[in-house]
Amino acid sequence: MALDGLRVLDLSRAVPGPYCTMLLGDLGADVVVVEEAAPPAGRRAQPLAADDEARWARDPLRRNKRSIRLNLKHPEGHAIFIELARRADVVLEGFRPGVAKRLAIDHASLAELNPRLVYCSLSGYGQHGPHAQLVGHEINYIAMAGALSMIGRPGSPPAIPMNLIADISAGGLMAAFSIVTALLARERTGRGQYIDHAMTDGVLSLLTRAAGQRLAGGALPQPGTDRINGALPHYDVYACKDGKYLSIGPLEPWFHANLCEVLGLPVVPESAPADERERARAAMQARFREHTRDEWFAKLAPLDTCVAPVLDLDEAMREPHHVARGMRVEVDHPTLGPIPMIGIGPKLSATPGAIRSLGPRPGEHTEALLGELGYAPDSIAKLRADLAIA
């Protein structure tokens, strides 16, 4: 596999970090999740469901990973992590800025022991800047970076998307890209490096085109004012006879002409006045109400009209195209049977990814990993009794 032989230590907890290391694990990396030796206490304590095998096995963000439970505040637990880091290629952490340094597991501490280490800090606002210590989540990051202001309908509050922009795309995916890039650079330089990855930086990077147009003197992006966020009647979603929605997006004039010919409506160009475009939108609304979503898709799909049904997640999981592409798979578990899961996105021809294992229980591989470090069974038992591991 593409990342065979690479060891990744994952100290992250929320979605962006685990998604990042899932991507690396899917392509062959040996991902070791370093988890707490005891459940979070105090204000971080949360009621947990039954700690059964199914709960962890069905979590796709834990697949292709091993788990060790360490008490990083215990001298022996800390020493174990240091030994793991000596042999690792990548460390990913998602603490608030300064926490890793207080635990003496920051990049500066580990790079002295392992100069080839690629170390990624993944946070909301980065390791420096006025807001570095500001707490937040997806909605805050896309708000601060300007993306949220562009999403929605004119005259309505911004629409809140799922955590696909900051957490998944600008966070986990971009962090994985940064890590692989640093590993590629290491092949030339022989040395690792530090990655300070802020999700707000990532969101702004995703806005490169929109920001570039604005910085060049273009209009300030607002909901429903751009050709690809609702200003055009032929780039929109429409309710159909059954209450389900159809998306249309024929931006090219020839595709637009194809759609209007089937609908029996005149072609209203992008340059038309706003009131004319709104009349065209109303005509399309009325026309799409005449048939069901799937009837329209069956009619329009073969005719180069840039159309797709708005599927809910259950429908998407059953969609024959996604199944044919291997994006809805079942993975056998020795006791639980087949477990349905999203497949692997990147389709590499020579070194394809694979789901080699389902999510581990917390600490499932503690003894095995300690054995790889040379710890004897009696030493492991003592570490557990001393609460250095779990």
Structural domains of the chain, with CATH: 7-206+326-385 (3.40.50.10540), 236-318 (3.30.1540.10)
Mean pLDDT of 92-119: 98
Average pLDDT, the chain: 95
- Calculate mean pLDDT across residues 219-233: 93
**30 or 47, higher pLDDT:** 30
In this prediction, residues 26-36 reach a mean pLDDT of 97
Distance of CA 178 to the CA centre of its chain: 14
Strand ranges in the chain using DSSP code E only, listed in sequence order = 7-10, 30-36, 65-70, 90-93, 118-123, 194-198, 236-239, 245-248, 307-309, 328-333, 337-342
Phi, psi of 109 (to 5 degrees): -65, -45
User: Distance between CA atoms of 365 and 372, rounded to whole angstroms?
Assistant: 11
Q: State pLDDT tens for residues 335-354.
A: 999 999 999 999 999 999 99
Residues noted as catalytic: 137, 167
* CA–CA distance, 174 with 185 (Å, rounded to integer): 16
pLDDT at 122 over 90: yes
How many Å apart are CA 237 and CA 284, to the nearest integer?
A: 10
